[in-house]
Structure formats: C-alpha cells, structure tokens
Amino acid sequence: MMKIGILGAGSMGSGIAQVAATAGHEVVVFDTFENALGNMKTRLDKILNRLIEKERINEATRDGITSRIHYGQSMDDFADCGLVIEAIIENIDIKKKVFAQLEAITNESTILASNTSSLSIASIAAACKNANRVIGIHFFNPAPLMKLVEIIPAIQTSEDTVQSAKAMIDSWGKLTVLVKDTPGFIVNRIARPFYGEALRILEEGIADVATIDWAMTTIGGFRMGPFTLMDYIGNDINYTVTETVFKAFYYDQRYKPAFTQKRLSEAGYYGRKAGRGYYDYNENAVKIAPTEDTNLGKMIVNRVVCMLINEAVDALFWQVATQEDIETAMTKGVNYPKGLLAWADEKGLDNVLKTLEDLQAEYGEDRYRPSPLLRKMVRENRVFKSL
C-alpha cells in the first residue's frame, strides 16, 4: 500500500493521518514545531482510547493505527511517499516555499496535495516545476468524523492526478466531490449566508440571537443555529473565512462580513473556546430564552434559506461543481437538512425569486441579486429535479 506523508501535525494534519492509518497506510507526519508531534501523539492516543471505550474499535485496531503512524525528523522522510498532504498554516508564501521543497524531495509520480480552505490551488501549484501533480484535497474538521472531502484540481493539474487522488480518498471511506478552483470551493462559499444573513437579521434588530437560532433549528430543521455554530467554530476563524471569501470575490456585496462578528472577534469573544461569544458559556450564565413566534421564525428561515439557495444556484450557474456534488457537499459536509436545490424545488423557484427580488427592492443592495440561473429557470418554468 502506498505510503502517505502528512506535513503539519495540527488539528487537520493529525485527523488526516488518523484516517489514512485507519485505512491501512503507513503514514509519516512531520511538523517544524518541536512540540507539535508529541502533542499530536498524546491527542491521538486519547482519541483512540475513547473509541475503545465506546466499543467502536478494539485494542488491536488501535495498536495497528498507532504502529503505522511514524513521526518524521525532516521533510526528507517523505521521499518514498506516493501522496503527501500539506496541512500547515494558511499562508500562501509559506505554502509555496514548502511545495517547492516537497517537489525536490519526492518522486516525480508523487501527488502533492494541499488541505487549504481558502487559497488558490493554481497559485500553490505554480511553485512547482511540474505543477500537474499538485491538487487540493480539502478535508473538514474533525477529519475522521466528517465524510465529505472536496477534490480541487488546479488548471495545471493532470487528469491522472485527479483520478488517482479521488480514488485514494474514496478508498478511505470518504465521499468526494469535484470542485473548480474558486474561492471557498463548494461548502465555504455556499454556506456564507447561513452566518451572514443571520447576522444581518440580528443587526437590523428583527430578532435576537436565541430567537434566530430557535427558528433555524426548530422551523428550519438545521442541526445547530447559526450563532451556536459560529460560537462552536470560533468567531475569529468564521470571520476570517468570510473576509477571505469577500476579498477573493473582488468585494462582491453578497459576501460582505458583519461588524458584529468583527467586534466579537476583536474583543476575544471567540465563542465556546473563550467561554464567551454570542452566548455566555460560564457556569452561572443566565440562558437567554427565544421569542417563540412562529410567523417571525418562518420569516427568518425563509430569508436565510432563500439566500442559501441563491448561492447554490449561482455555484451551479458558474459550474463550480455538478448539481449532485453541490447537494452532497451541503448535506454531508455541513449536515444541512436537505439539498439546497431540492429545497428550491420544494419551495417553488418563483417564491424563492420573489423573496430575493423583494429584499433587493427593499434594500437596494446587490447583496440580494438573484442568480441568472434562478431567473432563467423561473422564466422557463423548470425545476432542478428535471435538469
């Protein structure tokens, strides 16, 4: 079986190493920071022992996984790897430097992949003389639990590299979707309004945090409300992703970040990890009760879901991914209760278009402009199911 190299032993690197070793590969992990490898080993032992307690794996399986993970001394230990996945700091200059080094160390046939969430794969690949073996393989956090993996070929990537990378990740029991090398790929692009429109509704004073979360879970059927989820992800991280996508789309107003989240992030109110975010997580904190007004709740859900649908339709319009992969990504990657295009059919495309047009007329903002594909589908009286 092919040996796998993992560069970076942080949250993502250790999760991906666990997945590859569980699938039976010998794995080499390297990190430039002295304590990172030791910390990863301690973390991994804890995770595997918990899986034994829950009777998900037995001791022999744990021992097999840990014996297949090797902690490298330098990047030279990747020399005989067939696939190297980079999961280091999200910085284009550092990633480019590292990819040039990886190219020099590995065989010509080794696939070099980046787990970047927001950088262009084309720019990372450009650091290599032979860029056709570079690709994006984007896992979600925590990698062992999240089934979805986005596969992102750069314009330089060869078809062989795409097929081999996809086959490899599929063989690890993951669900892969193929995505064009565009900002936010599928999930981090389409999901923006889940946070952004909820923040907008809050900032306008239409409803408070608890009420919006109540509406989105109880009426919308989402597993977590947007504010609970932002607190869980971390407001610093969620804000940075939004800002990165906004800038990468040449400041398209659809992705404009909210001051509320920026201030929370600046204040250190990151969410759960800081004990405070939109909610207070301290022991004696008073729980805020939502206003359980069904009409208000339905209005909130309709507004956020129509914005999400518009993003999904627009991603399809720009051929970011196939219809099937867009639906898979949002249901399996972020556990949405339904595929957004199926949801659009169910709501009636004319109703979705009307909601967006009403918002655009009310606010006069480009933020609410409907996707050309949505307009076309309504004009031709078509549904996504029949596409």
Ligand X SMILES: NC(=O)c1ccc[n+]([C@@H]2O[C@H](COP(=O)([O-])OP(=O)(O)OC[C@H]3O[C@@H](n4cnc5c(N)ncnc54)[C@H](O)[C@@H]3O)[C@@H](O)[C@H]2O)c1
Could you tell me the smallest distance in angstroms from the CB atom of residue 60 to ligand X?
A: 29
**Among 14, 25, 103, 138, which one carries the catalytic annotation?**
138
150 is an active site residue: yes
Contact call for residue 72 and ligand X (CB under 6 A): no
Contact call for residue 9 and ligand X (CB under 6 A): yes
For the stretch 122-153, what's the b/e string if a residue is b when 16 or more beta carbons lie within 10 angstroms of its beta carbon? bebbbbbeebbbbbbbbbbeebbebebbbbbb
Contact call for residue 94 and ligand X (CB under 6 A): yes
Which of residues 17, 98, 199, 340 is near ligand X by CB under 6 A?
98
Give the C-alpha separation, 210 to 227, whole Å.
Answer: 8
User: Of 74 and 381, which has the nearer Cβ to ligand X?
Assistant: 74
Could you tell me the smallest distance in angstroms from the CB atom of residue 139 to ligand X?
A: 6
123 is an active site residue: no
User: Of 164 and 244, which has the nearer Cβ to ligand X?
Assistant: 244
Q: Which stretch binds ligand X (CB under 6 A): 28-36, 209-217, 306-314, 346-354?
A: 28-36
Contact call for residue 216 and ligand X (CB under 6 A): no
For the stretch 159-191, what's the b/e string if a residue is b when 16 or more beta carbons lie within 10 angstroms of its beta carbon? eebbebbbebbeebebbbbebbbbbbbbbbbbb
Q: Which stretch binds ligand X (CB under 6 A): 30-38, 206-214, 265-273, 299-307?
A: 30-38
Nearest Cα to 326, choosing from 197, 182, 135, 123? 182
String of contacts with ligand X for each residue 101-130, x by CB under 6 A: --------------xxx-------------
Q: Tokens 């992705």: give the residue.
A: 255
| Nearest-CB residue for ligand X | 10
238 is an active site residue: no
Nearest Cα to 34, choosing from 74, 90, 3, 6? 74
Rounded to 10°, the helix 372-379/349-363 angle is 130
- Per the rule left: phi > 0, alpha: psi between -120 and 50, beta: everything else, 6 is beta
On whether the CB atoms of residues 101 and 75 are closer than 8 A, the answer is yes
Residues 133-192 that bind ligand X (CB under 6 A): 139-141
Nearest Cα to 176, choosing from 5, 19, 52? 19
Contact call for residue 32 and ligand X (CB under 6 A): yes
70 is an active site residue: no
Half-sphere exposure at residue 7, Cβ-oriented, CA atoms within 13 angstroms: 28
User: Of 117 and 211, which has the nearer Cβ to ligand X?
Assistant: 117
Query: Which residues are the active-site residues?
Result: 117, 138, 150, 188
| Interface positions with ligand X (CB under 6 A) | 7-13, 31-33, 36, 87-90, 94, 98, 115-117, 139-141
